[in-house]
Structure 1
Amino acid sequence: MDMQHVADKGLVLLGCGKMGSAMLAGWLERDLPPASVWVIDPKPSDWLKGTGVHLNADLPERPAIVLIAVKPQMMGEALPTIAAMGGGGTLFVSVAAGTPIEAFEAAFGSDSPIIRAMPNTPAAVGRGITAIVGNDEVSGDQMDLAEALLKAVGQVVRLEGEHQMDAVTGVSGSGPAYVFHMIECMAQAGEAEGLSPELAMQLAQATVAGAGALAEAADETPAQLRENVTSPNGTTQAGLEVLMDEDTGLPPLMKATVKAAADRSKELRRG
């Protein structure tokens, strides 16, 4: 099963907000024909209207794949529009946060192949990372297809089981917000040391973005990269002694942050 199969059978995108739009843009750039895509969205953007896809039109009976990208609170009214496609070989992929596979099995039938995916917001600029896991009905080819589609917005990793989704939520799902806050805090600290707000923010944004790009591109581990720029008794060491304090620094704070997000994910899942 490959992209040609998708082009032949059709792809249905349920919901086309920021995440749906980012994915659709990536697919179209990778030469998926607009005529092979059906989008259901109550408030289509001007960009979406200009793509040439089928918009809020009658759906194919047995598309290759249905990608569910509606907000969780919209799920109840959205799923009935595609429920009839269950059990017919159509692959369902959900990028809706918090909705477990069993909820889709209840809607489409347990004989339907269903993949749950957790992307994150850097997908909007093609730098996301998405974790995926499927039910027992999903074939190897279908996992490969979902991975190929989701690579349009960044990296893809496969989980051992759905139980890991809460931890993924705590690290990469919610994680961009932690980094955004770190940028805010670095800029405020720069202001406190005498920089203008504009300059402090520019320095903080570029430093975090550049360090992230270097960490991803380098052969060394982040720990080694940190050591490379830490001269004995230098400025970096002075800063790190505060940041790396095992009682008051970043290690216990980040552990507590990720745990709090993962715990809330578990609470929401239990309802």
Structure 2
Amino acid sequence: MSLLKTLPTLDGARIIVVDEDSEAKYAESLITAWVPIWTEKDGREINVLRFSGPKSSSRIYANSLRGDKIEVHDYYTFGLNEIDPYSDKKLWEIVRVDSFKQTSTVVLDSLSSLLLYKSLAETCRFLSKLSTRVTLVVCIYQRDFVWHKIPSIKTLGTSYVRLESVASLKLGGNLSYKALTSHCKSGGSILQQAEIVEQNISSYEIQTEMVGHKSDQKTSVVQSKPSDKIQASFRIEMNDREMEQRNATPLPYTLSAASSNESKIHYEPDEIDDLDEEDPDDDLDF
């Protein structure tokens, strides 16, 4: 079963982060495919918060021709003579979070744009307050959009989808990309799945194919043949003559084989010693 298709309706999915690569700008297309899943399940209302472009540029809004309950809020466009609405007000007050129904889904487009308007702390507080008000929040995050990225973006929500480009493109003009999906269940266990997605550009219906881990591949180990001689940059072997000379050379720290087991004291006389005197100590006063 495709985890990507069932993700919008899974229990415990409160915040879904769709992380798109610079070469895989398919987050809006993927969310457009999720819209009929939400409406068929419980007919919920869908609110799209636009921070990355005007209302007319929303792909979800442009393709909502099926009578879905989609309302797009434009928080990107404002007149040049208007005061910046993001300067002195809280973000949840501007968006009017309390006006959303608790059974609705909110698509936040995008987290990366919010970082330009507000700080990282303000953006995370807004997301936390929004997720407690509605049933589901889906966030679009551009991986290479801003310098100040959200740290640990994979753990920001309950579910995470990473979109990547694929090398091969099929004929017909359909969208083709790779989705790496992970979901944290209510009990704490984590579901993970990698899928290749083929999405129709007209109906936005998706077909997925799981990417399995090839565990049956065997790594071939090539053993080198033992050589007769050790390959080195210098000669380390010895011939018979050199071996005989080595054995005949006495080592300085070994005793001679002819030495006995008796202990001896070897004394070297000093220059002032006179061993011929009868009493060597007669010059001492005692």
Instruction: State the TM-score, normalizing by the size of structure 1.
Output: 0.33
Greater C-alpha radius of gyration = 2
Structure showing the higher helix proportion among its residues:
1
